[in-house]
Amino acid sequence: MAQGSDRTGLQMQDADDPLALFRKWMEDARLSELNDPNAMSLATCTADGRPSVRIVLLKRYDENGFAFYTNGESRKGAELRANHHAALCLHWKSRQRQVRIEGSIAELPPADVDAYFKRRHRMSQIGAWASEQSRPLASREELIRRTEEIERRFPDEVPRPPYWTGFVVTPERIEFWEEREYRLHDRFVFERTASNTVWTKQRLYP
């Protein structure tokens, strides 16, 4: 079990603002994770309640929510449009910590997505055009061929594909979990209703 002065559950116990605590844990994770401290599981559901999950990168978080970017025509894109609820889960092995976030989902405004797309590496921008994410692909060669074609099509600036988008999860429930000895872990859940900005906090059995 990892040792350290912050591994006493006290960060959670003293926190009133889950976003501030999340920021602290993310900063901790950036210092110790091998890679991608912002990798998170994103769970979505079909309209009739069948779940699916995959990893995406958390690109921004603030009082408006937790944002990521993707292909809006992907499987997750279709599910997010059919069912406006999503769940996120971050696990930082190096810190033995987990954060679970649940809430409603909304698409980010086009200006926001444009601004982020412009900052991406040219080849990632090309890749966004080349990949029909989640749909069948005959061969790797086909993907390379499409990539080369798009490089020729956009020799200078690469515009954002109309289907490439971003989503934000507005949290209604944020749970912090930290490993403690003998599986007597610490868990705190912060909850608020969509119409309420004040968080309530509750300790949970592990």
Ligand X SMILES: Cc1cc2nc3c(=O)[nH]c(=O)nc-3n(C[C@H](O)[C@H](O)[C@H](O)COP(=O)(O)O)c2cc1C
Given the complex with ligand X, which of 19 and 43 has the nearer CB atom?
A: 43
Residue 70 CA to chain centroid, in angstroms? 10
Give the nearest distance from C-beta 125 to ligand X in angstroms: 14
Alpha carbons 34 and 14: distance in angstroms, whole number: 28
How far apart, in Å, are the Cα atoms of 72 and each of 4, 58, 81? 42, 16, 9
Alpha carbons 150 and 160: distance in angstroms, whole number: 12
Per the annotation, the verdict on 183 as an active-site residue is: yes
- Per DSSP (E only), the strands in 46-184 are 51-57, 60-62, 65-71, 85-92, 97-107, 164-178
Q: Which of 7, 9, 26, 39 binds ligand X (CB under 6 A)?
A: 39
- 42-71 positions binding ligand X, by CB under 6 A: 52, 54-57, 68-71
Alpha carbons 188 and 9: distance in angstroms, whole number: 9
- 132-161 positions binding ligand X, by CB under 6 A: 133-134
| Phi/psi at 111 (5° precision) | -60, -40
Give the nearest distance from C-beta 40 to ligand X in angstroms: 9
Give the nearest distance from C-beta 53 to ligand X in angstroms: 8
The catalytic residue among 119, 140, 152, 183 is 183
Q: Which of 21, 61, 66, 76 binds ligand X (CB under 6 A)?
A: 76
Q: Which of 60, 75, 85, 185 binds ligand X (CB under 6 A)?
A: 75
Give the nearest distance from C-beta 60 to ligand X in angstroms: 12
Q: Which of 36, 62, 142, 149 binds ligand X (CB under 6 A)?
A: 36
Alpha carbons 179 and 35: distance in angstroms, whole number: 21
Residues identified as active-site: 183
**Which residues of this protein are in contact with ligand X, per CB under 6 A?**
36, 39, 52, 54-57, 68-71, 74-76, 133-134
